[in-house]
Amino acid sequence: MILTLTVGPMSHGGHCVARHEGRVVFVRHAVPGETVRAVVTDGGEKARFWRADTIDVLEPSDHRRRHPWKQADALRAYNHGQVPVGGADYGHITDVHQRRLKAHVFRDTLQRIGGIDISALDLPELGPEGELTTRQLPGADASGMHWRTRVSFGVVEGSLGMKPHRSHDLIPLRAMPLAVEAVGASGIFTWDFSGAASVDVVAPGGEGPLSLIITTEDPSRLPKGLQKLAEETPEVASILLRSPEGQDYQVLTGEREITEELPVPVVGDSGDIQESVQLAPEGFWQIHRRAPEQLVSTVDRMAKLGTGGTAIDLYAGAGLFTAWAAHRVGHSGQVLSVEAAEGSSAAAERLFAARAGVEVVCAAAEKIARRLERSDLVVLDPPRTGAYRKVLEGIDQAGPGQIIYVSCDPASFARDAKGLLQLGWQLRGLEVLDMYPNTHHMESVALFERR
C-alpha cells in the first residue's frame, strides 16, 4: 500500500510521525514538514500503527540533501527496485538540521517519559532562550562520514554485507563510508569471506591497522589464501577467528589484543606511565574516533572531583572514566571500577595493576549497588537498556556528592532520570553529543546533584 502523507515531528528511532485516516504512521527517510509518498512496510487493518518508508518526495524540506551513501539512500534504492541498507537513517538530512532534530527528540523524550521540562531548568548548557542543542564533535565535516572505528558486517556470497532496517536479508556492500578511512583503504570489500558468518572490523584509534574478527563454525571452510592476503595487506594487522558462541578465539595472524590510546594516561605508584589499554577482542570501546577524549573532557567539566577524593565508575568497561578519575584524585585518592564483562574487567585489572588506589571489581552493577560506600562522585555509563531502579537506589543510598550519567539512549536515560529525581536528585547539567552522525542515535552526559 502506498500513501501520500504530510509528515510531522521526528520521533525517537528515526521515524517521522504522520497520520492516515486517524491511524499513526511512522515514516522513515522523511524530514518533518515534507509531503511524501510512502510504502507501508508493516501493519494491517487492526494494527494500532503502521510503519512506512519514503519512496518519493512531493514537497521537499529545505533541510533535505542528497544522501552521501548511495546504498543507504532510500529514494535512490526504491527508484532502482531495491531497498536501502540500514545504519544511516539521517543521511538525507543536512548535518545542522540532524543535530537540531536530535535535540528536539531528546527534549521530547525526556518530557514524555521522564516528565522533565528542560526549558524550566537552569542548566548552563542551554541556549539563550532555554533551548537544548546537540554538540558536533571536533574534526567532523558536513558529510558526517568516516567516524566509525568499529563495524559489524554479515557475509553474503563471500562479500561483506549489511541488513536493511527490520530485515534479516543481507545486501552486499561496495563500501561503508561511515567507517574511518582506514577501513575503505584496506580493500576488504573485495576480499572473499566465504565460510564466515560475520566479520567485525576494528580500526584502533580510528587509524588502524585493522583487526578483523571473523565468526565461523568451521575455520577450514574459510578461503585458503585469507591469512596470506592479510599478511600482505599493511592496513590489516590481525585476523581472529571466533566461534559462533563468541567464547573461543583463535589467532589466524597478528596479535589477539587490540590497543586503544587513553585520553588520560595512567601513572603507576612508582611513576611508570601507561598511555594505552589492551582490549580483548570482545572488549567494549567507544565507536566514534573522537568519542573517548570528548566524553572524558565533558565529564571533566562537570565534575568537582579533586585530589584525595573518591570516585566510583559503574559499567566501567576497560576503564576509560576510571583512568580519568584516577588522574583527578591522584595517588592519595581512591577509585572503584566496576564492570560485569570479564574480558573488559581483565583489561582494566591489567591497566591499573600498578595503582594501589584503584580497585577493579568484576561484577554486575546491580549486584554490587547495595554495597557501595560513600564517594564524592559516581560515574555510570550503562548499556542502551539503562541502569534501572535497583542500581539507582544503591547509588542513592551510598550518598555521593555528584552523579554523572553517560547515556546512548534518550528513552532509558529519561526513565532513569525520572527515578533519580524521585529519589531527591536534581538535574544540574546536560550535554547532548552528536557521536553518531547520519543516524538517529545520540549520546548524552548529565550531572545530578542533591536537592
State the pLDDT at residue 137: 94
Does pLDDT of 4 surpass 90? Answer: yes
pLDDT band for 188, please (50, 70, 90 cuts).
Answer: very high
The domains of the chain are located at 2-64, 150-256, 259-450
pLDDT band for 34, please (50, 70, 90 cuts).
Answer: very high
Q: What is the pLDDT of residues 405-435, one digit of tens each?
A: 999 999 999 999 999 999 999 999 999 999 9
**Which of 121-125, 204-208, 247-251, 291-295: highest mean pLDDT?**
291-295
| Mean pLDDT to the nearest integer, 64-84 | 94
| Mean pLDDT to the nearest integer, 185-190 | 96
State the pLDDT at residue 122: 85
As annotated, the active-site residues are 408
State the pLDDT at residue 140: 84
**Contacts of 295 by beta carbon, 8 Å cutoff, 6+ apart:** 286, 320, 321, 406, 433, 443, 445
State the pLDDT at residue 127: 83
Per the annotation, does 381 bind a ligand?
A: yes
pLDDT band for 44, please (50, 70, 90 cuts).
Answer: confident
> What is the rounded CA–CA span in Å between residue 428 and residue 163?
40
Does pLDDT of 38 surpass 80? Answer: yes
State the pLDDT at residue 43: 84
User: How deeply is 169 buried, as exposed, middle or buried, from its count of CB atoms within 10 A (0-12, 13-18, 19+)?
Assistant: exposed
Does pLDDT of 109 surpass 90? Answer: yes
Average pLDDT score, the chain: 95
Does pLDDT of 404 surpass 80? Answer: yes
Does pLDDT of 227 surpass 80? Answer: yes
Per the annotation, does 42 bind a ligand?
A: no
State the pLDDT at residue 133: 94
Per the annotation, does 315 bind a ligand?
A: yes
What is the H or E stretch that residue 259 is in? Answer: strand 258-267
DSSP 192-237: --TT-SEEEEE-GGGT--EEEEEE-S-GGGS-TTHHHHHHT-TTEE
Does pLDDT of 247 surpass 80? Answer: no
Does pLDDT of 186 surpass 80? Answer: yes
State the pLDDT at residue 130: 80
> What fold is seen in the domain 150-256?
OB fold (Dihydrolipoamide Acetyltransferase, E2P) (2.40.50)
Positive or negative torsion for Cα 46, 51, 54, 55: negative
What percent of the chain is predicted at pLDDT more than 70?
Answer: 100
> What fold is seen in the domain 259-450?
Rossmann fold (3.40.50)
Q: What is the pLDDT of residues 86-104, one digit of tens each?
A: 999 999 999 999 999 999 9
CATH of span 2-64:
2.40.50.140
214 phi and psi, to 5 degrees? Answer: -105, 120
Q: How many CA atoms are closer than 13 Å to the CA of 409, on its beta-carbon side?
A: 13
State the pLDDT at residue 46: 84
Q: What is the pLDDT of residues 372-391, one digit of tens each?
A: 999 999 999 999 999 989 99
Asked if the domains 150-256 and 259-450 are classified in one and the same CATH topology, the answer is: no
State the pLDDT at residue 18: 98
